[in-house]
Amino acid sequence: MTDAAWSTICNLRQSHAASDGDFEAPPPTASHAKPKRTSRYHRTIFLSDVHLGTRGCKAELLTDFLANNDCDTLYIVGDMIDGWQLKHHWFWSEAQSAVVRALLAKADAGTRIIYIPGNHDEFMRAYIGRTVAGIEVAADTIHETAAGKRYLVLHGDKFDGVIACAKWLARVGDTAYSLALALNDRLYDLRKALGLPYWSLSAFLKNKVKKAVEYVSSYEETVARAATTLDVDGIICGHIHQAEMRQIGKILYLNDGDWVESCTALVEDALGNLEILHWATFFIASDLARAGEQPAQKAALIPA
């Protein structure tokens, strides 16, 4: 891609600077230098695996999240742009442009943005150590919370190169399993007629799904084990599209999830408390609230 995608982003930046468009241009006066307090203000936001450039990217939800959440520091924990997909299929929507504009508007308004490239946007690794469009690019970094806890922040692909099929297997496996149960009997009859030994399609698929689940938990444990050798309290990563917050030995494993399936972000409040926000819940809840129904369900909150 990457040149094409990059020039799209550069053009967006220029058009953002040139006109207000749908988004507020940053006011020139110093009194407006701080980000505006919107419905939620966090000390830090971590988000990853947005996969801009793919049809799967939930750009509308992310735009809504960015419009309703502000912070002092925003970490983009990799796979923001999907360079792999862009090489084959160019898919860029207005909603995806809106995500880029919203991020640039935050940078212009004084939010510190740190971009840690992942495996799908590895072309961004060429900019490590530089500040591009007001966004700092780093290979990985240490984040210190307001409570003084230290977390290693990185995308997490270095712990596993071949992961793409895990979630796919789990989801497809679920539907396929019931289908397989029905097919299994016919297969049994067929194999018997052909003189072949018994072989269970459903058991085979079940084993595949089990392996996918095992994969996620072994990934989490691998990451946590790697972190124990460092002087940190925990690790914040993305990559496997599975938001999680769990203590593994001495390490607090935090995964901010993704914006393809779960639409989650990890946020830190002024006291250093960390929380995973499931934005789809808030997004739907705000619609319900407008319709006078039940309010949002609050996501898990753990102390720092």
| Positions in the binding site for Mn ion (CB under 5 A) | 79, 118-119, 157, 239
Q: How far is the CB of 156 from Mn ion (least distance, A)?
A: 7
Q: How far is the CB of 277 from Mn ion (least distance, A)?
A: 20
3-class DSSP assignment, residue 109: coil
Q: How far is the CB of 101 from Mn ion (least distance, A)?
A: 24
What is the C-alpha to C-alpha distance for residues 220 and 156, in angstroms, rounded to an integer? 10
- What is the amino acid identity at position 222? T
Q: How far is the CB of 219 from Mn ion (least distance, A)?
A: 11
Q: Closer to Mn ion at the Cβ: 8 or 119?
A: 119
Q: Closer to Mn ion at the Cβ: 161 or 303?
A: 161
CB–CB of 173/212 below 8 Å? yes
What is the C-alpha to C-alpha distance for residues 43 and 104, in angstroms, rounded to an integer? 18
What is the C-alpha to C-alpha distance for residues 16 and 23, in angstroms, rounded to an integer? 8
Q: Closer to Mn ion at the Cβ: 158 or 208?
A: 158
What is the C-alpha to C-alpha distance for residues 191 and 179, in angstroms, rounded to an integer? 18
Q: How far is the CB of 227 from Mn ion (least distance, A)?
A: 18
Structure tokens at 99: 């995500």
Q: How far is the CB of 161 from Mn ion (least distance, A)?
A: 10
Structure tokens at 77: 């924990």
Those residues with Cβ within 8 angstroms of residue 269's Cβ, 6 or more apart along the chain or in another chain? 42, 43, 146, 275
Q: Closer to Mn ion at the Cβ: 63 or 119?
A: 119
Q: How far is the CB of 268 from Mn ion (least distance, A)?
A: 22
Q: Supply the DSSP string of 216-239, one letter for each residue.
A: HHHHHHHHHHHHHTSS-SEEEE-S
What is the C-alpha to C-alpha distance for residues 145 and 272, in angstroms, rounded to an integer? 5
Question: Is the dihedral angle over the CA atoms 18, 19, 24, 29 positive or is it negative?
Answer: positive
Q: Closer to Mn ion at the Cβ: 83 or 118?
A: 118
